[in-house]
A and B are shown apart, each in its own frame.
Chain A
Amino acid sequence: MLNPDLVGRTFPGATSTSVSQESINAFAAVIGESDTSMATPTYAITITLDQSQKLLQESGLDWTRVVHGEQRFDIKRPIVAGDTLRCDSTIESARVMAGNEIVTVRGDLFNGEELVVSTWSTLVVRA
């Protein structure tokens, strides 16, 4: 079980990720996108889910039992090569349903002071 005191807390990203053209190209190639002047809409997950995983694992959650339940993106502008993105993670909710723990983590990606993309990942920890 996640410590309920963590719900509502924001954990500022300790490091930043420099977005390379190569990583945008690789993601685009998988889904057949030929326009690589910007990242495709779900690219942000490559940064935010990793941060959520680290945060939740450090909080004692068993990642091997986690399945992805829901995902949401709010995109202020597309991510582009050269962005240096810091991910602030907020545990928005944690509840138990039918024995499974359901945790929603928001990831806010900032380029400097500019909020670029917010993601919400709802993760189900199977009982």
Chain B
Amino acid sequence: MSRFTAGQELAPHTFLINRALLVAYANASGDQNPIHQDEAFAKSVGLPDVIAHGMLTMALAGKYVADLAGGSASVKQYSVRFTKPVVVPAGVDVELIVSGKVSEITDAGDAKIDITAICADTKVLGMAKALVANA
């Protein structure tokens, strides 16, 4: 029984990103760059506000794919471009809407998934793709 078929549209999921999540990700990942936590610092280097770690956005979109594929063990390859920052103002839950489409079932039987991640009507990941087991 295969989960995925070529051309299949995958139901979107919304993740919420806020300042507390950025602090949690910084602690879990070791990436303590102040642009992800310190508003004054972020603005001093020309950013509109604190921005999320690109790798947090990638991790959340990866969770989306892993859930659809039956768990983390199914994810074989995963790649993204960080095209736009996810801006996270104080006191706000920013919505990250992740969706996907199965582009291909490979000869080996794995599924290729194109991922779309949107925040404030803007695509924040480009060329986001995963290869997952299709069991």
Contact = CB atoms under 8 A, between A and B. Distances in A.
Contacts of B66: 33, 40-41
A35 B55 contact: no
Interface residues of B, number: 31
A39 B55 CA distance: 15
Contacts of A33: 63, 66, 72
Contacts of B82: 67-71
Given A33-B63, A41-B78, A75-B78, A46 B29 contact: yes
Nearest to B65: A41
A27 interface: yes
**Highest count of chain B CB atoms <10 Å: which of A27, A30, A38, A70:** A30
A78 B97 CA distance: 26
Contacts of A74: 76-77
B2 interface: no
Interface in A41-95: 41-42, 45-46, 49-50, 67-75, 77-78
Contact of B78 (A35, A46, A49, A72): A72
B81 A69 contact: yes
A46 B56 CA distance: 11
B27 A41 contact: no
Given A30-B56, A31-B59, A41-B62, A71 B73 contact: no
Main secondary structure of the interface of A (DSSP, over half): mixed
A45 to B, nearest CB: 5
Contact of B28 (A30, A35, A68, A71): A30
Interface in B20-49: 21, 24-25, 27-31
Contacts of A29: 24, 28
Given A71-B54, A74-B77, 12 more contacts: A31-B62, A39-B72, A40-B62, A41-B65, A41-B66, A45-B55, A69-B82, A70-B81, A72-B78, A72-B79, A73-B78, A120-B79
19 contacts: A27-B28, A35-B72, A39-B72, A40-B59, A40-B62, A40-B66, A40-B72, A41-B75, A45-B55, A46-B28, A49-B31, A67-B82, A68-B82, A69-B81, A69-B82, A72-B80, A73-B77, A74-B76, A74-B77
